[in-house]
Amino acid sequence: MIVFPNGKINIGLNIVGKRTDGFHDLESVFYPVPIRDALEVVPADQFRFSAYGHPIPGKKDENLCLLASKSVQKLYPDLDEIEIILYKNIPMGAGLGGGSSDGACTLKLLNQYYELNLTDMQLLELASELGSDCPFFIYNKPSWVRGRGEMISTIDLDLSSFSILLVYPDIHIDTAWAFSQITPKFPSVPIVELVKRPLAEWKSSVTNDFELPVFNKFPPLASIKNKLYEAGALYASMTGSGSTIYGIFEKNVIPSISFDQNFRVDVINELK
């Protein structure tokens, strides 16, 4: 059984408070985008996990697919043995939520594979234990996300009449450092209200708190954003704490833009 975990972009991101548990409260709109990994479960004589494609940093036993599997096995210790196979295509540490999507999709895939009949609420609870962005991928619909990422309200936002250009410059942004650069504050207007306005107005109102410190430290990222606007993007932004920059263009009219040869560029014409 195979599924294809997708990524997301942040449309605006405000850091609104520091929590007593060391995390931060935020508010952002998450929008799913069809850049995908591949995740497969097959029967096996003993449990195995293997990964291919983009190298995955960190310890193997901390991979979110493994942690998701362990959380299910803890609830159901007598399940048949399986092998989980991950093909990694979504860049790591890019602000696209690839690892979180893999973890959440592992929960959903095992629920389907074993016919466990776990509810969305049960899956959300398990996903929240894996990581801040994981719960979003249980619903995987345009959403206003708050708190640590566990407060999710689906919203009516449709970008299917536009195209998106994703530019990943392979610059690693340390998330802890990025958060340390932010002074939390509540916005005067929540992002969920700003995105109801015409997309052409987003440029002057929908912002990502991480951009200022990250662009100051990594000027090429600011240059990418400027190039997207110069090429006709209706809206451009960094997603998450970076380093992917995206531009939203009129449908199927993304021009050819010259970027550094080491940059990964994905054109997305089929949004839901």
pLDDT exceeds cutoff 80 at 21? no
- At residue 20 the predicted structure's pLDDT band, cuts being 50, 70 and 90, is confident
Answer yes or no: is pLDDT of 61 > 90. Answer: no
123/127 Cα distance (integer angstroms): 6
Q: List helix spans (H) across 144-264.
A: 175-180, 191-194, 211-217, 219-230
pTM, 2 dp: 0.94
Angle in degrees, 0-180, between the axes of helices 120-130 and 64-75, rounded to the nearest 10: 130
Catalytic residue among 102, 133, 209, 266: 133
Tokens matching residue 42: 């097959």
Name the DSSP class of 149.
Answer: T
Which CATH topology does 162-268 take?
Alpha-Beta Plaits (3.30.70)
Q: What is the pLDDT of residues 65-78, one digit of tens each?
A: 999 999 999 999 99
Fold that domain 2-154 belongs to in CATH: Ribosomal Protein S5; domain 2 (3.30.230)
Asked if residue 101 has pLDDT above 90, the reply is: yes
Q: Is 133 a catalytic residue?
A: yes
> What integer is the mean pLDDT of 77-85?
96
Pick the residue with more confidence: 17 or 57?
A: 17
Burial code of 93-111, b = ≥16 C-beta within 10 A, e = fewer? Answer: bbbbbbbbbbbbbbbbbbb
| Residues carrying CATH 3.30.70.890, the chain | 162-268
Range(s) for CATH 3.30.230.10 in the chain?
2-154
How many residues belong to the chain?
272
